[in-house]
Structure 1
Amino acid sequence: MQYTKSFYQIKSSETIFEYVKKEIDTIGYYSLPLQDTKEIKEYAKSVKYSNIAIIGIGGSTLGTYAIYQFLKPTHEYSKELHFFESTDPTDIKLRLKKLDLNNTLFLVISKSGTTIETISIFKYIASLVKIDKNNCVIISENDSKLTQFALKNGMKTFEIPKNVGGRFSVFSTVGLVPLAILGVDIDSLLAGAREVKNSFFEKKGYYETIMEKARFMVENKNRFNINVVFSYSASLEGFNKWYIQLWGESLGKININGTKQALTPIGLIGPVDQHSFLQLIAEGKRDKTVTFIKVADFQDNTKIPSNTLDGFEGLEYIDNLEFSKLIDEQANATIESIKQLADIPYDVITINRVDEYNIAKLMFSYQLLTSVVGRFVQINTYNQPGVEAGKIILKEKLQKN
């Protein structure tokens, strides 16, 4: 007798681990920490422009912006990144006002080479300034229309591997090229990602953390179907947006049993959202897990001064307190309040230092977590069929106009 099944079933951690190991042969993001960065770094050194305009959307920009925003407050860069993502005409013009178009390098990033938002913005900018091989670089698949355009015009190109999806592409040329031009240590970025990868696949610390978290989320997904990332640093707002795309677009799928899966991502910034969303977490429906992200070393000792305002007796306990200490204690107090409620699952991630190595560790660990959860719920983590219908409808509507 033979028995075959196709229905959904939560498998053992060891089985899931073996499935993920097999993905290394077909899913490209796993190998990105091992790549040679020589060509990227050599090109980056040749760029003299002060402004780097990145034209792209979604996976083509979110990861780069997350790293840029995280590092910018504590790092001095001679160049500046500008992101053109939205087709909102007022947003485009507002961003263009900040640019000297004659002192700008344009990085056009699209995996497919036909992303409508990207090409539309690119066409508009090309009407304002001459686009040629001196001020434009194309980052795309090697056979896309965008790459063909670049080759026809003698422009520099960098390839996006076909087996690297957009939301998993931050450690590919998509992120490394603009960040290297900016002056980011991309080798340190890859070292951080490599540390997490090696630890996971050698079944060390990150294996235990990621597998345990993924299993809990999957086993309790019907009760706790919302995952809140509560980041206690304004510089992690970009990371939050990147996580929302990674989590939502990867895990909102129909599994092999025909069941709709959803672990809804929400990104919050502390302490700002203590004054808004925290109330819902604390006394609202118990359908959320919370991940707190803290920064151990902000590399900033700015203090709250004393005797600058009259009439605030009773608040002397904040005088001469470092803001980094204040935000850390705000995080700790919120975490303690959630702990005392005893019915909200939470965990705490602490970033040791504001640098390339540590932000890469955080981001690669989330990519691995996403892959593991996807395997547990038995979906295709790497496609996005729910997005394609809207693209088709838009194209049909525009062609009729």
Structure 2
Amino acid sequence: MKYTHNFNPCISDRDIFKEIVKEKEYIGYYNLVHQDTTNFKEYAKGVKQSNVVVIGIGGSTLGTYAIYKYLKYSKSLKKQLYFLETTDPIDIKSKLEAIDLNDTLFVVISKSGTTIETVSIFKYINSLVKCDKDNTIVVTESDSKLNYYAQKNSIKRFEIPKNVGGRFSVFSAVGLVPLAIVGIDIDELLSGAKKIYNGFFDKEDAYKRLLKKARFFAEYKNSFNINVVFSYSSRLEGFNDWYIQLWGESLGKIDINSSRQGLTPIGIIGPIDQHSFLQLIVEGKRDKTVTVIKVEDFASDLEIPHVKLEGLEELDYIDGIKFSYLINQQADATIESINNLNDIPCDVITIDGVSEKSIASLMYEYELLTSLCAKFMYINAYDQPGVEAGKKILKERLSNA
């Protein structure tokens, strides 16, 4: 008798936890919460330029942007942070026109050191201003060609550990160096991430909720293969973009039995998407889970003024309401409307406020959740062969052009 199958047995929480503990010995992102940040902070103190331009793409920029976007309007930051991450010529030109390049520090980030998008933009910058040790730093692997270039030109270098993948690298030099330069407290970031680390590996609250959520996503992946993050703050737009890369590139894989797996990430913003995507969630096909993310304290007293508008008197009941209260009531109304249907899986994450700890806790939680889902699904969360194939084709096409 011959027997083949394309399914995998369910794994116990205990076995999954053992796998993650074992993985922590060779996958580097887990332990970034313990690193010494002295070198990053000392360098940041000496930066004189008013502008910081990060040149990179994907994992080299998305996490940093997520944190910066979340915090920048609530902090008195020392410098402006910009991101050049696309080869769209209009985007490049329009961004650079708004920046004084002679008062700019360029942070070139590429794990491999040969990312075409990053090198292309860096070449263009070099045609506009001289990039040297006084206005440029490099963040890359120790043996990359970009590292070699930096050495030859006496340019300051920060290392990306080889065992830290790009999309899991936000709490390495990739994110911590540019964020420290503009004045964000990177020790508080690591403190927030470490809170989740401890809560998981000490088998406390984070352990229970993350395992439960990851198990549900994996066991119901054929019924609910679309995971919607509904963030009720425009500040979380960057987080949504980061989550989409983390989730899609980590979990869209072929498993150990050559079966194609994947959980599709969707990132939307409330209340804007209450007027669009919510319709699809509520009355569309039941193939989506929903995670609503709320911010408890927006640190803002902005309120709706007592202004009389002729013909709109019936809405005067909103006068005097704080916008922060309004947006959270909108979130709660959405949550209640979804829960009342009883057939859409929905959970709610409420982060404390607009702080380094809050955003870092959320992001580290999603990194752990991604790793757990991958274990349940019998896939490797840390490679990206589908992306690499496209890179090879692009190189061949450009080389033969």
TM-score range, shorter chain: over 0.9
1:374 and 2:364 correspond: no
Amino acid at match of 2:197: K
Cα distance, 1:324 vs. partner?
Answer: 0.4
Q: Deviations over 1:8-33 (max 9, x none)?
A: 22211111110011001110001100
Q: Deviations over 1:139-188 (max 9, x none)?
A: 00011010100010001000000000000000000000000001000000
1:157 and 2:164 correspond: no
Q: TM-score, normalised by structure 2?
A: 0.98
Cα distance, 1:310 vs. partner?
Answer: 2.5
What SS does the corresponding residue of 1:127 show, helix, strand or coil?
helix
Distance 1:132 1:262 in 2: 43
- Identity level (%): 63
Q: Where does 1:37-186 land on structure 2 (aligned, <5 Å)?
A: 37-186=37-186
Distance 1:194 1:302 in 2: 33
Aligned residue for 2:295?
295
> Contact between 2:85 and 2:118, CA under 8 Å: does it hold in 1?
yes
> Contact between 1:289 and 1:345, CA under 8 Å: does it hold in 2?
yes
Q: Deviations over 1:242-284 (max 9, x none)?
A: 0000000000000011111111000000000001100000000
Distance 2:107 2:310 in 1: 52
Aligned residue for 1:263?
263
Aligned residue for 2:237?
237
Q: Deviations over 1:223-251 (max 9, x none)?
A: 00000000000000000000000000000
Distance 1:216 1:364 in 2: 19
What SS does the corresponding residue of 1:132 show, helix, strand or coil?
coil
Range 188-197 or range 5-14, more displaced? 5-14
> Contact between 1:142 and 1:160, CA under 8 Å: does it hold in 2?
yes
Amino acid at match of 2:53: A
Q: Where does 1:203-282 land on structure 2 (aligned, <5 Å)?
A: 203-282=203-282
Cα distance, 1:345 vs. partner?
Answer: 0.4
Distance 1:81 1:259 in 2: 42
Distance 1:340 1:17 in 2: 34
Q: Which runs of 4+ in 1 moved over 4 A?
A: none
Amino acid at match of 1:105: L
Aligned residue for 2:398?
398
Distance 2:118 2:206 in 1: 36
Distance 1:355 1:215 in 2: 30
Distance 1:284 1:361 in 2: 32
Aligned residue for 1:309?
309
Cα distance, 1:353 vs. partner?
Answer: 1.2
Amino acid at match of 2:30: Y
1:387 and 2:387 correspond: yes
What SS does the corresponding residue of 2:105 show, helix, strand or coil?
strand
Distance 1:58 1:33 in 2: 21
Aligned residue for 1:318?
318
What SS does the corresponding residue of 1:341 show, helix, strand or coil?
coil
What SS does the corresponding residue of 1:87 show, helix, strand or coil?
coil
Say what the alpha-carbon RMSD is for the aligned residues: 1.1
Amino acid at match of 1:282: V
Amino acid at match of 1:143: D
Distance 2:42 2:270 in 1: 39
Distance 2:387 2:8 in 1: 24
Amino acid at match of 1:42: E
> Contact between 2:308 and 2:316, CA under 8 Å: does it hold in 1?
no
Aligned residue for 1:202?
202
Q: Deviations over 1:287-316 (max 9, x none)?
A: 000000000000001011112532211001
Distance 1:355 1:193 in 2: 12
> Contact between 2:292 and 2:347, CA under 8 Å: does it hold in 1?
yes
> Contact between 1:293 and 1:351, CA under 8 Å: does it hold in 2?
yes
Distance 1:298 1:264 in 2: 29
Cα distance, 1:198 vs. partner?
Answer: 1.0
> Structure 1 unaligned runs (5+)?
none
Distance 2:20 2:309 in 1: 58
> Contact between 1:7 and 1:256, CA under 8 Å: does it hold in 2?
no
Q: Deviations over 1:29-81 (max 9, x none)?
A: 01100000001000000001110000000000000000000001211112010
Distance 2:135 2:181 in 1: 13
Q: Deviations over 1:371-391 (max 9, x none)?
A: 000000010110000111111
Distance 2:213 2:24 in 1: 21
Cα distance, 1:134 vs. partner?
Answer: 0.1
What SS does the corresponding residue of 2:353 show, helix, strand or coil?
coil
Q: TM-score, normalised by structure 1?
A: 0.98
Aligned residue for 2:327?
327
> Structure 2 unaligned runs (5+)?
none
Distance 1:129 1:398 in 2: 26
What SS does the corresponding residue of 2:297 show, helix, strand or coil?
coil
